[in-house]
Structure 1
Amino acid sequence: MAIPDFIRDLRTDIGTKLLWLPGVSAVVFDDAGRVLLGKRADTGGWSVIGGIPDPGEQPAETAVREVYEETAVRVVPEGVVLVETMPPTRYPNGDVCQFMDVTLRCRAVGGEARVNDDESLEVGWFAPDALPPLDDYALHRIEKAQAAGPTWFQGAAQPEPEAAG
C-alpha cells in the first residue's frame, strides 16, 4: 500500500510509533456474482481492494477511488458490510499502524479489470467457490458481503438470523 503524503508528514513528527488510522475495504461483485481481488505488490498475496481515506473523504468515496485507482473498475457502494478494529501491524520499515476498517459491499458498473497502479501485481474476477489463497481478513469480508445481512460489528452482539416461517 502506498503511504499517503499526510501520513508521511505525520511520521516525521512521531517516528514509527503507533498510528491509529481509518481504512476502507471494498468487496466488489459483478453481475455474475464474482468478486474482484488484487494481488498486492507489498505482500504478494491476494486480497480485497482497500486503502486509507484522504483527509475529509467519506468511506464510500474512498471505496470508489481505491477500486478505480487499483483496478480501473467503476463501482457503486451498496452498503456497509462490517466495521472492525484490526490488531496493530508493524511494517518492514518499523512503522506501527492500527486500522479501524469499514468494509463496503460494492457493485461493478463499468471498466475492465486490470492493474491500474503500482500497488497491485495482478487483478481479477473470481467465483466465490474458486478464490485464490486469501487471509482470514479477506475471507471474512467476502463471506459477510455475500450474506447481504445486517452490518457486522466486531465485539458486539450480532442479530440472530430470522427463522423461515
Structure 2
Amino acid sequence: MNVARAEYYDDPQAPKPNSLVVAASAVVTDDSGRILLQRRGDSGNYALPGGTMDLGESLPQTAVREVREETGLEVEITGVVGTYTDPGHVIAYTDGEVRQQFNICFTARVTGGSLAISDESTDLRFVAVGQLDDLPIHHTQRLRLDHFLDHREHPYLG
C-alpha cells in the first residue's frame, strides 16, 4: 500500500509535525549535464532521488542506497549542495505522520547500473536544465536544484 503525502511550505494551515526523520537526496548528473529526476508516485511531482537514513549507515551511504533503490543507478558522491532543515517545510502523510524536513542534498555522478523505475515512482528521466520549468516540481525540490545550478562556493545551510 502506497502512502500519499502533501507538502506544505510556510503555510499557517499546515498540520503540526509529529516526527523528524534524517534523510538524504542527490543531484545526479549525466555527461551532458542533465539532472536525474523521478516522478513520485505519492505526489505526482518530480523530485531528486532520496530517502530516509537507516541505522548503521552514513548520510552519503543513504544517498547512494536511495539512488540505487529508486533509479537502478550506482553513484559516487562528489559534493554537498546543502542542508535543508527549514521547520516551515512540513510533509503530511495519509498514515498520520507529519514530518518536519531534515535533508542533506549531495551531488553525485553515475558509476554503473541502468535506469529502472521503482515502486516509488511513475517516471524516471535525465532532464536538461532548460526543461526543468516544464515539470511539476515542489518548491523545496526546486530550491535544491537552484542551489546546485548556482554553483555556490559553499553549501546552502538552511
> Do both share a fold (TM > 0.5)?
yes
- More RCO (CA 8 Å, sep 6+): 2
Q: How far apart are residue 112 of structure 1 and its match? A: 2.2
Matched positions, count: 140
Distance (whole Å) between structure 1 residues aligned to residue 145 and residue 116 of structure 2 = 20
TM-score of the superposition, structure 1-length normalised?
0.78
Distance (whole Å) between structure 2 residues aligned to residue 62 and residue 148 of structure 1 = 23
Q: Which has the higher strand share?
A: 2
Write the mapping of 1:7-156 to structure 2, written as runs, cut at 5 A.
18-86=18-86, 87-115=89-117, 117-131=118-132, 132-149=135-152, 150-154=154-158
Secondary structure at the counterpart of residue 148 of structure 2: helix
Distance (whole Å) between structure 2 residues aligned to residue 48 and residue 127 of structure 1 = 14
Secondary structure at the counterpart of residue 33 of structure 1: coil
Q: Which has the larger radius of gyration?
A: 1
Q: Which runs of 5+ in 1 are unaligned?
A: 4-16, 155-165
TM-score of the superposition, structure 2-length normalised?
0.81
Secondary structure at the counterpart of residue 113 of structure 1: coil
Distance (whole Å) between structure 2 residues aligned to residue 119 and residue 25 of structure 1 = 14
Q: Which runs of 5+ in 2 are unaligned?
A: 4-16
Aligned alpha-carbon RMSD (Å): 1.9
